[in-house]
């Protein structure tokens, strides 16, 4: 495990602001929702949000939910494997899970099929515990 993964002291001001805004949100945020939250901090253009998001994603601090086109803070200290996101259809709550078996299956793809994965993310839709209770 890379113990520096959550070392946020080297982040730029914009990266820290974006990370903070995401941490404070209950749900994943799209770039424009983030921009709205950061207007008071002087953010004006989507690029001011996209660039830090790309960098934070590269550091493993945030993940991009492809189907929602939104970003969320990583739940873990640091992980190599494929994050699995359970997304509630009703309340929009998103929880992140890790599964070593799935991760090793994906890592074995080049050997099994010649396909070389670049990045991977799994998104599962359904109802969270709270919503399915009602």
Binding site for Zn ion (CB under 5 A): 74, 76, 83, 88, 90-91, 93, 128, 131
Q: Which is nearer to Zn ion, 113 or 134 (CB)?
A: 134
Q: For 96-107, give the DSSP string.
A: EEE-HHHHHHHH
Q: Which is nearer to Zn ion, 34 or 88 (CB)?
A: 88
CB 91 to Zn ion: min, Å: 3
Q: Which is nearer to Zn ion, 10 or 26 (CB)?
A: 26
Six-digit token string for 55: 């960098």
DSSP 29: B
- Asked if 80 and 103 count as a contact pair (C-beta separation under 8 A), the reply is yes
CB 72 to Zn ion: min, Å: 9
Six-digit token string for 52: 């830090």
């Amino acid at each position: 495990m890379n113990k520096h993964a959550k070392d946020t002291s080297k982040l730029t001001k914009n990266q820290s602001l974006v990370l903070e805004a995401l941490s404070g949100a209950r749900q994943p945020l799209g770039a424009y929702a983030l921009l709205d939250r950061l207007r008071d901090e002087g953010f004006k253009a989507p690029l001011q949000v996209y660039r830090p998001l790309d960098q934070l994603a590269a550091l493993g601090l945030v993940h991009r939910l492809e189907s929602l086109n939104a970003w969320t803070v990583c739940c873990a200290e640091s992980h190599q494997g494929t994050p699995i996101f359970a997304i509630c259809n009703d309340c929009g709550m998103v929880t992140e899970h890790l599964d070593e078996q799935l991760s090793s299956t994906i890592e074995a793809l080049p050997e099994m099929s010649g396909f070389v994965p670049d990045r991977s993310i799994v998104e599962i839709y359904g109802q969270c515990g709270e919503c399915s209770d009602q």
